[in-house]
Chains A and B, each alone.
Chain A
Amino acid sequence: MKKLTQMVMAVACTAGIGFASNAMALDGGALYLDATKGGCSACHGKDAKTPVMPTYPKLAGQNADYVYNQIKDIQSGARSNGMTAAMKGITHMTTDEEKKAIAKWISEQK
Chain B
Amino acid sequence: MKLKSVISVFAFVTTFAASTVAMSSQSDEHAKAAGWNKGGGEQDAALHLKPDLENGLDVFEVCSACHLPEGWGTEEGTFPQLAGQHRRVLIKQLADIRALNRDNPTMYPFALPESIGDSQAISDVTAYIEKLKMNPAAGKGPASADLVKGEKLFKDNCVKCHGETAMGDAQKYYPRLNGQHYKYMKRQFTWIRDGKRRNANPDMVEQIKNFSEEDEVNVLTYVTHIPVPKEDLAPSKDYRNPDFD
B105 touches A52 (CB 8 A): no
By a CB distance below 8 angstroms, the chain A residues around B62 are: 42
Q: A35-B74, A53-B109, A55-B16 are in contact. Are A86 and B23 (CB under 8 A)?
A: yes
B174 interface residue (CB < 8 Å to A): no
Q: Is the CB of B106 within 8 A of A93?
A: no
Pairwise interchain contact B23-A35, C-beta atoms closer than 8 A: no
Q: Are B66 and A39 in contact (CB under 8 A)?
A: yes
Q: How large is the interface on B (under 10, 10 to 19, 20 to 34, 35 or more residues)?
A: 20 to 34
State whether A36 touches B74 (Cβ < 8 A). yes
- Bound together, the chains give a CA A83 to CA B109 distance in angstroms of 11
Indicate whether A85 sits within 8 Å of B74 (C-beta atoms), given known contacts A35-B68, A54-B12: no
Residue numbers in A under 8 Å from B108 (CB-CB): 86
Q: Count chain A residues whose beta carbon lies closer than 8 angstroms to a beta carbon of B.
A: 21
Is B92 engaged at the interface, CB distance under 8 Å to the other chain?
Answer: no
Q: Determine whether the beta carbon of B23 is less than 8 Å from that of A85.
A: yes
A77 close to chain B: CB less than 8 A: no
Taking the closest CB of chain A, its distance from the CB of B237, in whole angstroms, is 13
B110 touches A42 (CB 8 A): yes
Q: Which residues of chain B have C-beta atoms less than 8 A from A41's C-beta?
A: 65
Cβ of A53 and Cβ of B74 under 8 Å apart? no
Chain A positions 71 through 102: 1 when the CB is less than 8 Å from some CB of chain B, otherwise 0: 00000000000110111011011000000000
Specify which of B23, B65, B109, B115 is in contact with A39 (CB 8 Å cutoff).
B65
CB atoms of A90 and B78 under 8 A apart:
yes
B190 at the interface (CB under 8 A from A): no
Once the chains bind, are B105 and A55 in contact (CB under 8 Å)?
A: no
Q: Which DSSP category, helix, strand, loop or mixed, fits chain B's interface?
A: helix
Question: Is A43 interfacial (CB 8 A cutoff)?
Answer: yes
Per the bound structure, the CA–CA distance linking A104 and B15 in Å amounts to 31
Which residues from B are CB-within-8-Å of A54? 12, 15-16
**Closest Cβ–Cβ distance, residue A10 to chain B (whole Å):** 36
In the complex, what's the smallest C-beta–C-beta distance from A32 to chain B, in angstroms?
11
Cβ < 8 Å to B, chain A residues 13-60? 35-36, 38-39, 41-43, 52-56
Q: Which residue from A35, A85, A87 sits with its C-beta under 8 Å from B79?
A: A35
Closest to B64 in A: A35
Per-position binary interface string of chain B over residues 99-124, scored 1 when its CB falls under 8 Å from any chain A CB and 0 otherwise: 00000011011100001000000000
Question: Complex formed: what's the CA distance from A35 to B79 in Å?
Answer: 9
Which residue of chain A has the shortest Cβ distance to B65 in the bound complex?
A: A42
> B201 an interface residue at 8 Å Cβ cutoff?
no
Complex CA gap A56/B15 in Å reads: 12
How far, in whole Å, are A49 and B64 apart by their CA atoms in the complex?
A: 19
On chain A, the residues within 8 Å of B115 by CB distance are 52
Q: Contact check, A86 vs B109: say whether CB atoms are below 8 A apart.
A: yes
- Bound-state CA distance A87–B67 (Å) is 16
Contact A89 B78 (CB under 8 A): yes
Q: A residues bordering B, Cβ < 8 Å?
A: 35-36, 38-39, 41-43, 52-56, 82-83, 85-87, 89-90, 92-93
Query: Could you pull out 30 A-B pairs where Cβ atoms are within 8 angstroms?
Result: A35-B66, A35-B67, A35-B74, A36-B76, A39-B65, A39-B66, A42-B62, A42-B65, A42-B66, A43-B109, A53-B15, A53-B19, A53-B109, A54-B12, A54-B15, A55-B19, A82-B23, A83-B19, A83-B105, A85-B23, A85-B105, A86-B106, A86-B109, A89-B78, A89-B105, A90-B78, A90-B106, A93-B74, A93-B76, A93-B78
